[in-house]
Amino acid sequence: MDIKELFAKQEEIKRKNLNAKNEKESEITKVMTFYIGDQVYGIEIPSVIEIIGVPHITVVPGIPYYIKGIINVRSKVVPVIDMRSRFGKEEKEYTDRTNTIIIEEAGVSVGVIVDEVIGVIPVFQKNIANSPDRIGVNDNKFIKYLLEMPDGIKLVLDVAKLIYDGDMYLTDE
Amino acid sequence: MRRFLRYDIKVTLYITARAALQPAMCGKAMEIFMAKVEPGMEAMVDVYIFETTALLEQLDEILLRTEKANEFTEEDINEIFRIMHTVKGSSAMMGFENLQVLAHKGEDMFFIIRENPEKMTDVGFVYDLVFQMSDLFKAEIDMIQNDDNYEPTDFSDMLAKLEKGAKMLKGELDGIIAEESAAAAAAEAPAAVPAADPDCTTVRVFFEDGCKMENIRAFMLINNVKESVDDVEIVGYVPDDIESNQDSANTIIDNGFLLSFRAPDPKTVFSAIENSLNVQSYEVIEANAEQKAAETAPAEEAAPVKQQTAEAGEPAAPSAPAPAAAKPAEKPKSEQKAAPAASSGGGKQSLISVNLQKLDQLHDIVGEIITTESMVISNPELEGLRLESFTKSARELRKLTADLQDTVMSIRMVPLTGPFQKMNRIVRDMKVKLNKDVELVIEGDTTEVDKSIVDNLNDPLMHLVRNCMDHGIEDTAEERTAHGKPAKGTIKLSAMSSSGEVIITISDDGRGIDTEKVIAKAERNGLLVKPASEYSEREIQNMILLPGFSTNDVVTEYSGRGVGMDVVKSNLSKMGGTLTVESKKGVGTSFIIKIPLTLAIVDGMEIMVGDAEFTVPISVIKESFIVKRDQILNDTKRGEMIMIRGVCYPMLRLNEKFGLYSEVSDIEDGIVLLIESENRGICLFADKLIGEQQVVVKPFPKYLSQYDIKGQGLSGCTIMGDGSISLIIDVNNLIGTH
């Protein structure tokens, strides 16, 4: 009983802290930004495991064209998605600048190939633009929110949707 | 560096990120537990399930051992006490109240046994009762683990049984007399009424088994008596809350319905009871007998009875006799049990339990170290340098990493003792049900195999042992002695390892397989592919493993549902194992299981197709050769075939199959592998062979499981020494899709 009460109290404190933080418009997260074509996209840092170049990709049959295959990331086999191809853009040959960002969501790791990683920026509540209705649906279903930064608008990707795509079904196996 | 950075941020952002990601991060598992467990306890459920299952297995083991040896030491009792106590405590902590109460009742019973250990072996029902309880526990734990909409089960039947058992043990008498005295003790006030009032008669009425709503029936009985007998006065009845309390029905089932009345001629009342609906039997309780019964009951229980007697003029009886009786016995127990629990809780185990995932992680890291090591030692920048001490240290390092790898591999290996010991229980239960005297002999249960194999062995083993019990061993001892065999049947379960494989044999000394019956049945089921006379004895025996075959026409509780041996066989082949039968009519049957020591390692042949590397399991490769162009036959659909020793095999070009670019297109430039599985063969065309290698099988990433890669003929992948990935070819699927 005591444990439960304690737990409840802790949750309460957490929630209060969170609210307080939001009110003060303190930094709420950090976002890693990168180019896909001319557009700047971002992924929230907690989802990012690491950034590597483009390693040798082993082609696997029977998967969609935008999944390029599997790679070996420190003895872990990880599938890689070409973001250009995922977003319906023309594919480009990989260069020195091309990066693979390894992201993870609920235990599932995926590598996403992007044109170029820019850096990490802090995000404040005031930066988050009021999302138009079009965000999060149809073609924009991978967008979590827009960031209005002094140097331009950045689209922050929804990692969960990117991995657990709406038309995908993950079995436990 | 990046990793550190990431964790650093994670800490500062913990609250924010957690809150933001919460809905997405809630995996399926979490949602399930949310429903049945207090928030914050989810993480502990796994631990609870693991611990409780282990404890229950330990309990079963002790019980089986003591039952067999027919003796019960103090140590055993203390151990059981500790188990029950721990289960009770952890169930209470997790909020599984029903399990807590059940464990508590079990503890009550062993409290009595601890005082008189000889009762455990003298009184037969104890073992059955405790086994039943342990089964209920396991079923419930299973439900907690697997059922998304878990609802606590109502154990009141079992609780009543345990209570009754405890009372029977408590009374110095056993059997029916004990039952009577227990019931009488529970009866309390009305039972004592006659002592104060000689005119009063008490009867105990039992209703028909399974007539349901006993409390309502009892109520109707009272009305019936009142109506049909004019000058009757109902003094009291137990339980007295039949109108309001549904649970009183259970009390009536167990103890009967007690009715005290005052009438000039009791016989008229008796006939009224006889004529009431659903009454199975009734008995008149003599005043003297009641007093005797009251004396045999412990003093704590007798005291309230006396008090009630004083005010017996009033028909009000205590509302809940059973719990009231149980309570006084509880207190001294909790004080006493603290001592043995503390003394035996010191922990004699030298084992720890580790999450399998962590072991896999460790395994991965070791693989990584070995790859990195070879990258350092054979680094091209070191070339041409004189490095005497470096070479020496490098050799040392290589030896240590090899040791490390062996150790990590061995951690995953567990003995077969667990699944083997479980069979003891199955044999015990079936022995009673089928009325066959059978002994289970276990050999080589310390043989170690990979943990994942052990987990999957339970079902096949159980099925085979049941099969031996049900079909193998003769139905009667006479049948056995007539054939010159000992009356007691034997089922032998043995395991040994030989060259990377574990061989498990389940054999009985029963009647063996009747080949004539089998072939007749196979013919009826249309399973024959050639004339019956052309089958060898061995082939016929192995027919029982075919899908849709079951020699037993009668479906029994244990086997003979027609889904049987073929399911066992396919389960085993999923693990890469095989099942064969050897039998001699009149002598016995043996089932032989062969499984690889570990699922994780495959002997493979590495082949190149374009710039992709594939692994073909060595076990399916018949031969590899280079063919001449004129050996190739073309069918009408541009398909290629090749004739080898009179058999025509289709040719599959792997580059075409997997859509890979390859410079080798001329059949004479590449290499052909003839592979065979399940009596079907196919030729694979690849660019070149690289060589034989043991590879560690890894499943495809979870993310790709939504696509049918297995259907494409690939079973998994492996990371090669140079860090590249090789895809493992699944021969069965490849042949199937072609």
For residue range B640-673, list pLDDT tens digits in order.
888 888 888 888 888 888 888 888 888 888 899 9
Examine the pLDDT at B622 and tell me if it is beyond 90.
no
Q: What is the pLDDT of residue B614?
A: 92
B322/B716: higher pLDDT: B716
pLDDT in tens, B529-547: 777 778 888 888 888 877 7
Q: Mean pLDDT throughout B276-294?
A: 59
Write down the CATH superfamily of domain A2-163.
CheA-289, Domain 4 (2.40.50.180)
CA of A19: which chain B residue's CA is closest?
B16
Examine the pLDDT at B269 and tell me if it is beyond 60.
yes
pLDDT in tens, B487-499: 888 999 999 877 6
Q: What is the pLDDT of residue B494?
A: 92
Q: What is the pLDDT of residue B562?
A: 46
pLDDT in tens, B213-227: 777 777 777 777 777
A134/B333: higher pLDDT: A134
Question: Does A105 reach chain B within 8 Å, measured CB to CB?
Answer: yes
Q: What is the pLDDT of residue A101?
A: 93
Distance from CA of A150 to the nearest CA of B (A): 23
Examine the pLDDT at B175 and tell me if it is beyond 70.
no
Q: How many Cβ atoms from other residues are within 10 Å of residue B67's Cβ?
A: 17
Interface test with A, best of B90, B372, B703 (most A CBs within 10 A): B703
Q: Mean pLDDT throughout B240-269?
A: 74
Contact B700 A70 (CB under 8 A): yes
Scan residues 32-91 of A and list those with Cβ closer than 8 Å to B. 44-46, 48-51, 56, 58-64, 67, 70-72, 74-79
Q: What is the pLDDT of residue A102?
A: 93
Using alpha carbons only, what angle is made at residue B449 by residues B448 and B451, rounded to the nearest 5 degrees? 120
Contact B704 A30 (CB under 8 A): no
- Pick the closest to residue B224 from B261, B276, B267 (CA basis): B276
- Pick the closest to residue B672 from B621, B736, B636 (CA basis): B621
Instruction: Compare CB distances from A14 to B15, B364, B703 and report the shortest one's residue.
Output: B15
Spell out where B94-226 has E strands.
Answer: 200-207
Q: Dihedrals φ, ψ of B584, to 5°?
A: -130, 125
SS (H, E, C) A73-95: ECCEEEEEEEHHHHCCCCCCCCC
Residue B649 neighbours by CB under 8 Å, 6+ apart: B641, B642, B643, B674, B681, B682, B683
The rounded percent of chain B whose pLDDT value lies above 90 is 4
Residue B582 neighbours by CB under 8 Å, 6+ apart: B538, B541, B589, B590, B592
> B325: pLDDT confidence band, cut at 50, 70 and 90?
very low
Q: What is the pLDDT of residue B492?
A: 92
Instruction: Compare CB distances from B717 to A17, A77, A160 and report the shortest one's residue.
Output: A77
Query: For residue B443, what are its two tokens?
Result: 């050999």
Q: What is the pLDDT of residue B552?
A: 53
Q: What is the pLDDT of residue A38?
A: 85
- 3-state SS, residue B218: helix
Distance from CA of B357 to the nearest CA of A (A): 12
DSSP state of B468: I
Contact A67 B704 (CB under 8 A): yes
pLDDT in tens, A3-60: 777 778 878 877 777 666 555 567 788 899 999 888 889 999 998 999 998 888 998 8
Sketch the domain layout of chain B as residue ranges: 37-170, 175-331, 356-410, 414-596, 601-737
Distance from CA of A60 to the nearest CA of B (A): 8
What is the topology classification, in CATH, of domain B414-596? Heat Shock Protein 90 (3.30.565)
Examine the pLDDT at B679 and tell me if it is beyond 80.
no
Examine the pLDDT at B202 and tell me if it is beyond 70.
yes
Scan residues 655-684 of B and list those with Cβ closer than 8 Å to A. 657-660
> A165: pLDDT confidence band, cut at 50, 70 and 90?
low
Question: Does B452 reach chain A within 8 Å, measured CB to CB?
Answer: no
Is the CA virtual torsion A105, A109, A114, A116 positive or negative?
Answer: positive
Q: What is the pLDDT of residue B738?
A: 63
Contacts with A168 from chain B: Cβ below 8 Å: 706
Examine the pLDDT at B438 and tell me if it is beyond 80.
yes
Give dist(CA B129, CA B39) in Å, integer. Answer: 35
B240/B388: higher pLDDT: B388
Contact A62 B711 (CB under 8 A): yes
Q: What is the pLDDT of residue A70?
A: 93
Give dist(CA B184, CA B197) in Å, integer. Answer: 17
Examine the pLDDT at A79 and tell me if it is beyond 90.
yes
DSSP string, B551-578: S-SS--SSS-SS-SHHHHHHHHHHTT-E
Q: What is the pLDDT of residue A23?
A: 53
Give dist(CA B519, CA B525) in Å, integer. Answer: 10
Interface test with B, best of A45, A52, A58 (most B CBs within 10 A): A58
Burial of B308 (0-12, 13-18, 19+ CB in 10 A): buried
CA distance readout (Å), B224 to B221, B236, B249, B279, B730: 5, 15, 18, 12, 76
| Calculated CA dihedral for residues B490, B495, B501, B507, nearest 10 degrees | 0
Question: Does A173 reach chain B within 8 Å, measured CB to CB?
Answer: yes
Rounded mean pLDDT of chain B? 73
Q: Dihedrals φ, ψ of B716, to 5°?
A: 175, -165
Q: What is the pLDDT of residue A103?
A: 92
Q: What is the pLDDT of residue A100?
A: 93
Q: What is the pLDDT of residue B38?
A: 56
Give dist(CA B652, CA B673) in Å, integer. Answer: 10
Question: Does B373 reach chain A within 8 Å, measured CB to CB?
Answer: no
Contact B24 A160 (CB under 8 A): yes
Q: What is the pLDDT of residue B493?
A: 92
DSSP state of B703: G
pLDDT in tens, A115-132: 989 989 888 887 787 666
Cβ distance A59 to B658 under 8 Å? yes
- 3-state SS, residue B466: helix
> What element of type H or E holds B607?
strand B601-609
Strands B501-508 and B448-450: unpaired
Q: What is the pLDDT of residue B178?
A: 45
Query: For residue B563, what are its two tokens?
Result: 């889904």
Cis ω for the linkage preceding B239 (within 30 of 0): yes
**Hey, what long-range contacts does B241-246 have (CB within 8 A, 24 or more apart)?**
B241/B319, B241/B320, B242/B215, B242/B216, B242/B218, B243/B215, B243/B219, B245/B215, B246/B215
Distance from CA of A122 to the nearest CA of B (A): 11
> How many pairs of residues across A and B have Cβ atoms under 8 Å apart?
135
**Buried b / exposed e across B102-121, counting CB within 10 Å, b at 16+?**
bbbbbbbbbbbbbeebebbb
Q: What is the CATH number of domain B601-737?
A: 2.40.50.180
Using alpha carbons only, what angle is made at residue B215 by residues B210 and B220, rounded to the nearest 5 degrees? 105
- CATH class for the domain made up of B175-331: alpha beta
Write down the CATH superfamily of domain B37-170.
HPT domain (1.20.120.160)
Q: Mean pLDDT throughout B139-153?
A: 77
Examine the pLDDT at B15 and tell me if it is beyond 90.
no
Q: What is the pLDDT of residue B598?
A: 65
Residue B357 neighbours by CB under 8 Å, 6+ apart: none
Q: What is the pLDDT of residue B170?
A: 67
B18/B482: higher pLDDT: B482
CA of A28: which chain B residue's CA is closest?
B16
CA distance readout (Å), B630 to B642, B663, B668: 10, 21, 10
Residue with tokens 């498990």: B504
Examine the pLDDT at B74 and tell me if it is beyond 50.
yes
CA distance readout (Å), B713 to B483, B652, B710, B734: 52, 12, 5, 4
Distance from CA of A73 to the nearest CA of B (A): 9
Q: What is the pLDDT of residue B14?
A: 36
Residue with tokens 């064209």: A65
> B551: pLDDT confidence band, cut at 50, 70 and 90?
low
Examine the pLDDT at B8 and tell me if it is beyond 60.
no
Contacts with A108 from chain B: Cβ below 8 Å: 701-703
Query: For residue B624, what are its two tokens?
Result: 């590899």
Q: Judge if pTM exceeds 0.80.
A: no
CA distance readout (Å), B536 to B98, B516, B542, B622: 57, 12, 10, 25
